[in-house]
Structure 1
Amino acid sequence: MNLKGRIIKSAVLFTLILILLPGPAKAAGGAITDDPARLKDMIVVLLMPAVNQAASDFYEPYLTISPTVAPYYGTELIAVSDEERSSERIYNPYFAVIIEVFPYVGPHLSVGKDRITLGIMPSGTVTVEKYEHLESHGLPSNYASIIKKQMP
């Protein structure tokens, strides 16, 4: 095959590849940016690893097992605030998120109600700024073996 034939064949192949490549994907069901409830849910879901770790750390002195926090079990986003923290005159946006949760053990036996304030840095680092234990909930007698000491 001569050079002209190779060029034409390559051009046709390149054109077919471009035609068959998928274009930008659209989100199924449309954009959710106009739905505040879904945006709140998305924030809560993204913060669940930090929330579960905070609950585990708080309840460690009181329970032999770590309670679970689930976004569908009474978890509520209370507030989101943005603040500026200047460090050496560099703009450093910071978000504080307050979430109320009901950590549970077993088949959704709530051990309490807690309010967690999380700090979110531009790097994506999430830190627990404050952990408030608002209520303690008793467990049934068949769960007495997981209690190390009485909760506050």
Structure 2
Amino acid sequence: MNGFRGFHFVITLEVVPTVGPHIAVGKDSLTFDVSPVNPNNVKLLEWKHLKDPQESDFPPNWKDILKE
């Protein structure tokens, strides 16, 4: 691109949000577009929720933060 002097990235990240002492609370996928047009030009193209938190993933003293 641009005589090998430019770039244009589409990046997909899989993220695992946490609470408290690093307890995983699900999984999400985020897709970003990073363009050379403007250095501050990063756009979120897509957000997918892949997995909900499971009660079995929480220790007994953290189960009270789960919502029904």
TM-score interval w.r.t. the shorter chain? 0.5 to 0.7
**3-state SS in 2 of match to 1:114:** strand
- The CA deviation string for residues 84-118 of structure 1, in whole angstroms up to 9 with x for no partner, is xxxxxxxx853110111111111111111111101
1:100 is matched with which residue: 5, 8, 14?
A: 14
Normalized per residue, which structure has more helix?
1
- 2:33 aligns to what? 119
Partners of 1:130 and 1:107 lie apart in 2 by 29
Partners of 1:95 and 1:110 lie apart in 2 by 28
Corresponding letter in the other structure for 1:104: T
Q: Percent identity?
A: 32
Q: RMSD of the TM alignment (CA)?
A: 2.4
Report whether the alignment pairs 1:133 with 2:35. no
Runs of 4+ in 1 over 6 A off after TM superposition: none
- Structure 2 portions without partners, runs of 5+: 1-5
Normalized per residue, which structure has more strand?
2
Give aligned pairs, total: 57
- 1:144 aligns to what? 64
1:6-45 correspondence runs (5 A): none
Structure having greater relative contact order (Cα 8 Å, sep ≥ 6): 2
Select the structure of larger CA radius of gyration.
1
Q: TM-score, normalised by structure 1?
A: 0.32
- Structure 1 portions without partners, runs of 5+: 1-91
